[in-house]
A and B are shown apart, each in its own frame.
Chain A
Amino acid sequence: MTYTLIILILLALSTIAYRAGSTRALAVAKTAGVARLHSRPAYYGFLVSLWCGVPAFLLLLTWMICEPVVVDDLIVAGLPEKIQSLPENRLNLVVNDIKNLVDSKMVSGEVNEEISKAADHYRKLKATSRELAAVLVLLIATSAIYLVWRLISPTLQARNQVEKIIKGALIACSTFAIFITIGIILSVLFESIRFFKIVPFYEFLFGLEWSPQMAIRADQVGSSGAFGAIPIFAGTLMISLIAMLVAVPLGLMSAIYLSEYANRKFRAVAKPLLEILAGIPTVVYGFFAALTVAPFIRGSLSGFGFDVSSESALAAGLVMGIMIIPFVSSLSDDVINAVPQAMRDGSYALGATRSETIKQVVIPAALPGIVGGVLLAVSRAIGETMIVVMSAGLAANLTANPFQAVTTVTVQIVTLLVGDQEFDSPKTLAAFALGLILFIVTLVLNIIALFVVRKYREQYE
Chain B
Amino acid sequence: MNSPTEKTIDIVKRGLGKRYRSEKRFRFYGVFAIFLSLLFLALLFTSIISSGYSAFRQTYIQLSVDLPKADFDFNNLDQANYPGLIKNALREKFPQVSSRSDKKALYSLVSSGAAFQLQDLVKGNQSLIGTTVTIWVPADDDVDMFYKGYISRDVPEGNRRLNDKQLSWLDTLEGNGRIEMRFNTTFFSAGDSREPELAGIRGAFTGSMLTLLITLFLSFPIGGAAAVYLQEFAPRNRWIDMVEVNINNLAAVPSIVFGLLGLAVFINFFHVPRSSPLVGGLVLTLMTLPIIIIASRAALQSVPPSIREAALGVGASKMQTVAHHVLPLAMPGMLTGTIIGMARALGETAPLLMIGMVAFIVDIPGGFTDPSTALPVQIYLWADSPERAFVEKTSAAIMVLLAFLIAMNFIAVILRNRFERRW
Residues of A within 8 A of B (CB): 65, 68-69, 72, 159, 163, 166-167, 169-171, 173-178, 180-181, 183-184, 187-188, 190-191, 249-254, 256-258, 260-261, 270, 273-274, 276-277, 279-288, 290-292, 322, 325-326, 329, 351, 353-356, 358-359, 376, 379-380, 382-386, 389-390, 410, 413-414, 417-418, 423, 431-432, 435, 438-439, 442-443, 446-447, 450
Query: Do residues B30 and A178 form an inter-chain contact, with CB atoms below 8 A?
Result: no
Count contacts between A and B, CB distance < 8 Å: 259
Q: A292-B47, A325-B37 are in contact. Are A385 and B261 (CB under 8 A)?
A: no
Residues of A within 8 A of B34 (CB): 253-254, 257-258, 270, 274
| Stretch touching chain A among B111-119, B144-152, B250-258 | B250-258
The 7 closest A-B pairs by CB, nearest first: A383-B254, A257-B30, A281-B347, A187-B264, A253-B33, A355-B26, A385-B350
Chain A nearest CB from B134 CB (Å) reads 38
B342 within 8 A of A: no
Residues of B within 8 A of A326 (CB): 37
Q: A291-B391, A356-B19, A385-B350 are in contact. Are A184 and B257 (CB under 8 A)?
A: yes
A351–B12 alpha-carbon span in the complex (Å)? 10
B299 within 8 A of A: no
User: Looking at chain B's contact residues, is the secondary structure mostly helix, strand, loop, or mixed?
Assistant: helix
A380–B253 alpha-carbon span in the complex (Å)? 8
A288–B40 alpha-carbon span in the complex (Å)? 11
Chain B nearest CB from A348 CB (Å) reads 13
A184–B354 alpha-carbon span in the complex (Å)? 14
Residues of B within 8 A of A329 (CB): 37
Interface size on B, residues (CB 8 A): 87
Query: Do residues B349 and A281 form an inter-chain contact, with CB atoms below 8 A?
Result: yes
Query: B260 contacts which of A276, A280, A432, A450 (Cβ < 8 Å)?
Result: A432
A187–B289 alpha-carbon span in the complex (Å)? 19
Q: A173-B226, A288-B47, A423-B268 are in contact. Are A446 and B249 (CB under 8 A)?
A: yes
Chain A nearest CB from B187 CB (Å) reads 17
Q: A170-B229, A177-B293, A190-B264 are in contact. Are A270 and B38 (CB under 8 A)?
A: yes
A285–B353 alpha-carbon span in the complex (Å)? 17
Residues of A within 8 A of B167 (CB): none
| Stretch touching chain A among B67-75, B99-107, B301-309, B398-406 | B398-406
Query: Do residues B353 and A418 form an inter-chain contact, with CB atoms below 8 A?
Result: yes
Q: A177-B293, A282-B347 are in contact. Are A386 and B380 (CB under 8 A)?
A: yes
Chain A nearest CB from B6 CB (Å) reads 18
Q: A181-B249, A281-B405 are in contact. Are A187 and B350 (CB under 8 A)?
A: no
A284–B406 alpha-carbon span in the complex (Å)? 14
Query: Do residues B349 and A283 form an inter-chain contact, with CB atoms below 8 A?
Result: yes
Query: Do residues B376 and A281 form an inter-chain contact, with CB atoms below 8 A?
Result: yes
Residues of A within 8 A of B221 (CB): 173
Identify 19 new A-B residue pairs, CB closer than 8 A, beyond the known A184-B260, A281-B347, A281-B349. A174-B243, A184-B258, A188-B261, A250-B37, A253-B32, A258-B34, A270-B38, A274-B41, A279-B409, A280-B402, A283-B347, A284-B401, A358-B26, A385-B254, A385-B350, A386-B349, A438-B257, A442-B252, A446-B249
